[in-house]
Amino acid sequence: MVPILLSVISASSQKKQGEFEAEALPHMDILYNFALRTTGNENDARDLLQETYLKAYRFWDKYEKGTNIRAWLFRIMKNSYINRYRKESREPDTVDYDDVENFYDSIRSQAADTNDLQQRMFGGLLGDEVTRALQELPDDFRTVVILCDIEGLSYEEIAEFLDCPIGTVRSRLHRGRKMLQAKLFDYAKSKGVIAHD
């Protein structure tokens, strides 16, 4: 009888494991990428990814089948990140956007289009500097920028991920991009890529 019971338990565990892997593992890339861009390094991203999947497996019974699993996994990762790094969402930094606008005014007539404009404003910056500026954004704003501009999610899905209205996503994205630009502008000035005032 014991072997029968054991085999029943084992079959049930295997079913759960199989279901979990089939549903959750295909979303590994999007989660890893978010973890990497949020923590800023591969080791922390790996730890955060593992913690997320372990918690997801432990709470698999709580997952409501047929709902958006990507959003469910993402919320686990976001909470794990806050707990692990003790970072609560903080108020956005005050940014001086006037400098950016003034610089735009001074070069706009020379730029052929927005690609050229981008090149003239931030063409001298490296990917690492853009990544650093992104990581310096407050959590709420960085999250929507990563999800929209790197992961390519729709506003609707981001709203579902964050459990907030689409209007909030739109507004955070707008403000996040402004903050990012102000930081990039400061980097570009300090590097001498664009002229000091």
Partner 1 sequence: MDCREAQHYFGTALDGSLTLSRRTAFFEHLGRCKKCLKLFELESVAKGIVSRMVSFVPTPVAIRHSLLQTLRREYQTTSSPWVRNLLRPLFSLPVVLAGAIAIAAFVLLLPTNPPESGPAIHAASNDLINKTLNNLQRIRDGRLKPAMVSCFPEGVAGYFEKKGVAFALHIIPMDNCDWYGAISEDYAGVSPVHIIYKVGDDYIYVCEVPLTAADEGATFSLPPAARASLVRTGWYTDVHHPPCSVVLWTTNGTLCSAASTMQQDKFVSLFAAR
Cβ atoms of 176 and 136 closer than 8 Å: no
Q: Which is nearer to partner 1, 88 or 98 (CB)?
A: 98
Q: Does 194 bind partner 1 (CB under 8 A)?
A: no
**Quick one: tokens of 137?**
């954004």
- Quick one: CA dihedral 179, 183, 184, 188, positive or negative? positive
What is the C-alpha to C-alpha distance for residues 31 and 16, in angstroms, rounded to an integer? 21
Find the binder of partner 1 among 138, 184, 187, 194 (CB under 8 A): 184
d(CA 126, CA 144) in angstroms, rounded, equals: 22
Residues 36-65 that bind partner 1 (CB under 8 A): 36-37, 42, 45-46, 49-50, 53-54, 57-58
Q: Which of residues 113-132 bind partner 1 (CB under 8 A)?
A: 114-115, 117-118, 121-122, 125-127, 130-131
Contact yes or no for 92/175 (Cβ under 8 A): yes
Task: Find the angle CA(51)-CA(159)-CA(74) to the nearest 5 degrees.
Answer: 10
Selected binder of partner 1 within 75, 92, 155, 186 (CB under 8 A): 155
Q: Does position 165 bind partner 1 by CB under 8 A?
A: no
Would you count residue 4 as binding partner 1 (CB under 8 A)? yes
Rule CB under 8 A: is residue 112 a binding residue for partner 1? no
At 148, which amino acid appears? C
* Stretch of 75-83, 86-94, 180-188, 189-197 contacting partner 1, by CB under 8 A: 180-188
Binding site for partner 1 (CB under 8 A): 1-2, 4-6, 8-10, 13, 17-18, 21-23, 25-29, 32-33, 36-37, 42, 45-46, 49-50, 53-54, 57-58, 100-101, 104-105, 108, 114-115, 117-118, 121-122, 125-127, 130-131, 134, 145, 148-152, 154-155, 170, 173-174, 177-178, 180-181, 184
